[in-house]
Chains A and B, each alone.
Chain A
Amino acid sequence: MMRWRYLKQSAFFALVRASALIITLTLGGIILYILMHGYSVISWEFITKPPTDSMTQGGIMPAILGTIYLTLGAIAIGLPLGVASAIYLTEYAIQGRMIRLIRVGINCLAGVPSVVFGLFGLAFFVIIFKFGSSILAGSLTLGFLILPTIIGASEEALKSVPQTFREASLALGVSKWQTTYRIVLPNALPGILTGSILGIGRAAGETAPIMFTAAAFFTSKLPSSIFDEVMALPYHIYVLATAGTNIEATRPIQYGTVLVLVAVVLGINLVAILIRGYMRRNKRW
């Protein structure tokens, strides 16, 4: 009897361990593969120079910069809007059918394919608002794309702030808004960032939403305002792999670009993790 239970337990552990191993191996495999194929083209030149010779030579600097701009723009739009929505939903709204409906809507938004966001951005920001294909239009589109992730993460983080903190503050005669702003929000911020990291990574990596709204096939000049279009890493990869003049010749550059994109996404995550870690100190309850 004991033995049977012991066996069952070990079998279960083995299974769990195997799953973890498979995930790690897959991830490691992908990164290793990219590294092996891509690292030979990585050089100071590659990340600081624009492409030359119909993009078969030179670097990818405009695309790196473009992706950074678009990601920062998406954060600048998605984070305040998402956090504000979450504050409304958790702290202010009277929970009822209306709020349930809004939540369903947000969840649906999270499931909408990214190409639909791209078309929406094209119709709405590029054409109706006349932003043209630009950093602004692309950032807005990506900002809306990551909105559901940020709202979801922020709601969880806000709900995890102990109710006793709110009561303590309100009982002092501090207003609801001040309580939210001074007590609830600072304590929820690490959680908000943790969840938002997922959205930020997605904003950096998506191709479809920026294809029609921001990304240039090729431009050697750097953007001078938010109304300029930019190159972007995901779209550049797509272009090199499918539409370039000489796809085979650019293979190493493609891998190099992928490697840089992965590094940029991981870099953004790392920064967010560091900020979170910094804010978490002294925040134990």
Chain B
Amino acid sequence: MDSNIIIKLNNVNFYYGNNRALTDISMTFRKNKVTALIGPSGCGKSTLLRLLNRMNDLIDGTRVEGEILFEEKNIYDPEIDPVEIRKKVGMVFQKPNPFPKTIYNNIAYGPKLASNNTGDINTLVEQSLKQAVLWDEVKDILNQSAMKLSGGQQQRLCIARALAMKPDILLMDEPTSALDPISTAKIEELIEELKKNYTIIIVTHNMQQAARISDETAFFYLGNLVEYNKTEKIFTNPDVKHTEDYITGRFG
């Protein structure tokens, strides 16, 4: 596998019971890039994202065909422990979902339970909050409940929480759709910054956002990968008419 490639999907099909949600997807994700997944509601973006950290395992009656290679190994190989995959592939959800714990404990929770963590937790908490550009706002209230933060702060806390596990990849499922424009701008800036150290795969319904922050864009429709290319190319001169119609808002 090319050293610039971190994840490779080969002919992946995914089923919820008898319903196929993804059809024969083959694609690669590049290291230290931001890849945006776009497409109309129900086209399978979240499903694809949740395949990459095996979160779909939690839903009864789902089935995967094909292979998804990460570090040369198929993450759906029976001998792979999904828990280990999730340590390396972090996730941020659409709705901020901090634990009902203190700010400090939200961050410390994962590393404390992950056996491979040896470093100093205090340093790690500080470092993660700084990376998520939240440190200055919360450094004096670390023992306050995370539920009292604003939505935008909560989302950055969730990003910090994921970063504290030192993942290689960060999956984000519409991370700003529940936030105001100022919080959204902050998170977008943050993503710019994070891609130096992480590979980011982000689902978004906001075309400007995809154009602003991503290096590559994949357009999905009804479980099929329609077009996948450099973001610039997708937004200026897409190969497929369907893609153009979607990004120009001609159909939803």
A binds B: yes
Give the contacting residue for B60; candidates A94, A172, A173, A182; CB below 8 A: A94
Taking CB atoms, residues of chain A closer than 8 Å to B91 are 171
Residue of B nearest to A171 (CB): B91
Shortest distance in angstroms between A184's beta carbon and chain B's nearest beta carbon? 11
Interface string of B169-187 (1 = CB under 8 A from A): 0000000000000000000
Taking CB atoms, residues of chain A closer than 8 Å to B98 are 168
Is B145 part of the contact surface with A, judged by Cβ < 8 Å? yes
Residue contact B100 to A164, C-beta cutoff 8 Å: no
Taking CB atoms, residues of chain A closer than 8 Å to B84 are 173
Is B20 part of the contact surface with A, judged by Cβ < 8 Å? no
Residue contact A164 to B109, C-beta cutoff 8 Å: no
Pick out which of these stretches binds chain A: B131-139, B158-166, B219-227: B158-166
Number of contact residues on B: which range applies?
Answer: 20 to 34
Residue of B nearest to A162 (CB): B97
Interface string of B83-98 (1 = CB under 8 A from A): 1111110110101011
Give the contacting residue for B95; candidates A164, A175, A183, A283; CB below 8 A: A164
Is B58 part of the contact surface with A, judged by Cβ < 8 Å? yes
Residue contact A178 to B113, C-beta cutoff 8 Å: yes
Is A5 part of the contact surface with B, judged by Cβ < 8 Å? no
Is B204 part of the contact surface with A, judged by Cβ < 8 Å? no
Residue of A nearest to B98 (CB): A168
Taking CB atoms, residues of chain B closer than 8 Å to A154 are none
Is A4 part of the contact surface with B, judged by Cβ < 8 Å? no
Residue contact A283 to B100, C-beta cutoff 8 Å: yes
Q: What is the bound-complex CA distance between A183 and B147, given in angstroms?
A: 15
Give the contacting residue for A172; candidates B58, B87, B95, B147; CB below 8 A: B87
Is B246 part of the contact surface with A, judged by Cβ < 8 Å? no
Q: What is the bound-complex CA distance between A95 and B113, given in angstroms?
A: 29
- Given A168-B93, A172-B162, A285-B147: A182 and B109 interface contact (C-beta under 8 Å): yes
Among A95, A166, A169, A283, which residue has the most Cβ atoms of chain B within 10 A? A169
Is A45 part of the contact surface with B, judged by Cβ < 8 Å? no
Taking CB atoms, residues of chain A closer than 8 Å to B86 are 170-173
Residue contact B99 to A172, C-beta cutoff 8 Å: no
- Given A95-B60, A167-B93, A283-B100: A172 and B55 interface contact (C-beta under 8 Å): no
- Given A95-B60, A285-B100: A168 and B87 interface contact (C-beta under 8 Å): no
Taking CB atoms, residues of chain B closer than 8 Å to A170 are 55, 58, 86
Taking CB atoms, residues of chain A closer than 8 Å to B113 are 174-175, 178, 182
Shortest distance in angstroms between A90's beta carbon and chain B's nearest beta carbon? 13
Is B114 part of the contact surface with A, judged by Cβ < 8 Å? yes
Is B53 part of the contact surface with A, judged by Cβ < 8 Å? yes
Taking CB atoms, residues of chain B closer than 8 Å to A182 are 109, 113
Shortest distance in angstroms between B66's beta carbon and chain A's nearest beta carbon? 23
Shortest distance in angstroms between A171's beta carbon and chain B's nearest beta carbon? 4
Is B238 part of the contact surface with A, judged by Cβ < 8 Å? no
Taking CB atoms, residues of chain B closer than 8 Å to A94 are 60
Residue contact A173 to B99, C-beta cutoff 8 Å: no
Q: What is the bound-complex CA distance between A6 and B212, given in angstroms?
A: 59
Residue contact B100 to A172, C-beta cutoff 8 Å: no
Q: What is the bound-complex CA distance between A171 and B84, given in angstroms?
A: 10
Is B110 part of the contact surface with A, judged by Cβ < 8 Å? yes
Shortest distance in angstroms between A191's beta carbon and chain B's nearest beta carbon? 14
Q: What is the bound-complex CA distance between A187 and B133, given in angstroms?
A: 29
Residue of B nearest to A95 (CB): B60
Among A166, A167, A174, which residue has the most Cβ atoms of chain B within 10 A? A174
Q: Besides A174-B113, A175-B83, 17 other CB < 8 A contacts?
A: A95-B60, A164-B93, A167-B58, A168-B98, A168-B161, A170-B58, A171-B90, A171-B93, A172-B90, A172-B110, A172-B161, A173-B165, A174-B83, A174-B110, A282-B100, A284-B100, A284-B147
Q: Can you give 17 contacting A-B residue pairs, CB < 8 Å?
A: A94-B60, A95-B60, A164-B93, A165-B97, A166-B58, A168-B98, A169-B99, A169-B109, A170-B55, A171-B91, A172-B87, A173-B83, A175-B83, A175-B113, A282-B100, A284-B145, A284-B147
Shortest 4 CB-CB contacts between residues of A and residues of B: A173-B87, A173-B86, A172-B110, A171-B91
Q: Which residues of B contact A (CB under 8 A)?
A: 53, 55, 58, 60, 83-88, 90-91, 93, 95, 97-100, 109-110, 113-114, 145, 147, 158, 161-162, 165
